[in-house]
Amino acid sequence: MATAQQVTDVSGSDRTAIQPEKKKPLQFLDLKAQFASIREDVLKAVESVFESQHFILGKEVQLLEQEIASFIGVPEAVGCASGSDALYLSLLALHIGRGDEVITTPFTFVATAGAIARTGAKPVFVDIDSVTYNINPSKIEAAITEKTRAIIPVHLFGLAAELDAILEIANRRNIAVVEDAAQAIGATYRGRQVGGFGLCGCFSFFPSKNLGCAGDGGLITTTDAKIADELRLLRAHGSRKKYQYEIIGTNSRLDALHAAILRVKLPHLNGWAEKRSEHAEIYKTLFGAAGLTNIFVLPSTPEGRGHVYNQFVIRVPRREELRAYLDSQGIPTDVYYPSPLHVQPAFSYLGYEHGSFPEAEKASTEVLALPVYPELSRQDQERVVATISDFYNSNPA
């Protein structure tokens, strides 16, 4: 839409010129909109913590642990300082370390493989499924050696990995499963919450997650009381009693302020996930109507899995050109992930090369995440789809 604007030409006379209206940039994630909807309850919870002056662990953390354990359907939950630490502490609790190997995917955030390396163990990568982007179970068995102690499937973008096949392999080979559910709280597999299938389930409360706090925060779920006990020791310097240390631990405690905020948000989580799913279906309908589904690939949800769309990721040709065009039109996007871990300098010591995991490498050049947060309007979704359609119609390959 254009607007009339009065301007003065070089001769000094006034004339009316048509200027293109500059569209307001969209948000990739609008946390302010979420906060506005729960502002009073959040501030009340924060005020309560300040009144108590109890900022580390304590009642708020204990209550959050109980509530999330109930939500996931497991007996134990242990809060910690971040999702990265959730993975690291889980591996430590399983006594995984130098000389051991842990299988995971190269198409994930660095924390997954980083946690393995921090224990002294060796990350062993397995390629992904081209449709779900999760670890391909059919390739896991070939990666197992006598040193393999655990498998870390990542429930990427909010979609559960193929847990039946992974658990069958793990149980048959006596290997632990640690679920990386950092992007997937609320996601389901055959009617059960992810994070309740392996020995440990690891969650992140980074602000951009579907359930986010006001900084870094994490949590581990487990069905094993002994593992839960060791996790509580590990997160607090290996100590139950002040100045007495049973094991070597670290400082990875969840702050009470974060727990209080998360307790306000948790009852809204399912509703927010439903809105994200609604937005995903709207995108699919709009892309279909625009005739774009023959140009790129939309996300799909295999039968028996409940997707919570922490990200809505499409696969597109000429991604960088499209992304630049969308940015010029005020539409933000993101790429998860532009380079798989096996070709990152930090993991060069593992000896992998370009071509080692072709599906992960191909996905890294094509994936593009679009806004999908709960407060996103249909009008904004229509604008996203129309702008993508404009790009491909105006710039045919």
Q: Is the pLDDT of residue 200 over 60?
A: yes
Query: DSSP readout, 192-251?
Result: EETTSSSSEEEEE--TTSSS--SS--EEEEES-HHHHHHHHHHTBTT-SBTTB-SS---B
Q: Cα separation of 128 and 156, whole Å? A: 11
Q: Is the pLDDT of residue 17 over 70?
A: no
Name every residue whose Cβ is closer than 8 Å to that of residue 272 and which is 6 or more positions away in sequence: 34, 210, 374
User: Tell me: the pLDDT tens digits for 300-350?
Assistant: 999 999 999 999 999 999 999 999 999 999 999 999 999 999 999 999 999
CATH code given to domain 38-268 = 3.40.640.10
Residue 396 banded pLDDT, cuts 50, 70, 90: confident
User: Tell me: the pLDDT tens digits for 33-67?
Assistant: 999 999 999 999 999 999 999 989 899 999 999 99
Residue 77 bridge partners (DSSP): 221
Task: Please give the pLDDT value at position 293.
Answer: 87
Q: Cα separation of 361 and 355, whole Å? A: 7
Local structure of 170: helix, strand or coil: helix
Q: Cα separation of 366 and 318, whole Å? A: 8
Task: Please give the pLDDT value at position 397.
Answer: 67
Q: Cα separation of 128 and 336, whole Å? A: 14
Residue 14 bridge partners (DSSP): 8
% the chain with pLDDT above 90: 90
Q: Is the pLDDT of residue 13 over 60?
A: no
Cα 335 to chain centroid distance, Å, stands at 12
Residue 19 banded pLDDT, cuts 50, 70, 90: very low
Nearest 5 degrees, angle CA 307-CA 186-CA 129? 40
Nearest 5 degrees, angle CA 377-CA 378-CA 380? 65
Average pLDDT, the chain: 93
Domain ranges of the chain: 38-268, 269-394
Residue 24 banded pLDDT, cuts 50, 70, 90: confident
Task: Please give the pLDDT value at position 22.
Answer: 57
Q: What is the largest CA-CA distance in the chain?
A: 86
Query: DSSP readout, 275-294?
Result: HHHHHHHHHHHHHHHTT-TT
Q: Is the pLDDT of residue 83 over 80?
A: yes
Q: Is the pLDDT of residue 12 over 70?
A: no
Task: Please give the pLDDT value at position 382.
Answer: 97
User: Tell me: the pLDDT tens digits for 93-106?
Assistant: 999 999 999 999 99
Q: Cα separation of 104 and 340, whole Å? A: 12
> CB–CB of 248/238 below 8 Å?
yes
Q: Cα separation of 77 and 65, whole Å? A: 5
Q: Is the pLDDT of residue 16 over 50?
A: no
**Which runs of E-coded beta strand occur in the chain?**
2-8, 14-20, 76-80, 101-104, 122-125, 148-151, 176-180, 188-189, 192-193, 200-204, 218-222, 305-306, 312-315, 367-370
Q: For tokens 């774009």, what's the residue? A: 292
Name every residue whose Cβ is closer than 8 Å to that of residue 113 and which is 6 or more positions away in sequence: 104, 106, 123, 125, 341, 347
Local structure of 12: helix, strand or coil: coil
Q: Is the pLDDT of residue 1 over 80?
A: no
Q: Which amino acid, one-letter code, is at 262?
A: L
Q: Is the pLDDT of residue 20 over 50?
A: no
Residue 11 banded pLDDT, cuts 50, 70, 90: very low
Q: Cα separation of 264 and 211, whole Å? A: 10
Q: Going edge to edge, which strands form the sheet with 192-193?
A: 192-193, 188-189, 305-306
Q: For tokens 């992007």, what's the residue? A: 183
Task: Please give the pLDDT value at position 4.
Answer: 39
User: Tell me: the pLDDT tens digits for 315-326?
Assistant: 999 999 999 999
Task: Please give the pLDDT value at position 222.
Answer: 97
Question: Any idea which of 22-26, 28-32, 83-87, 101-105 has the lowest mean pLDDT?
Answer: 22-26
Residue 294 banded pLDDT, cuts 50, 70, 90: confident
Q: How far is CA 33 from CA 91, 374, 375, in A?
A: 37, 9, 7
Q: Is the pLDDT of residue 353 over 90?
A: yes
Class of 269-394 in CATH: alpha beta
> CB–CB of 203/219 below 8 Å?
yes
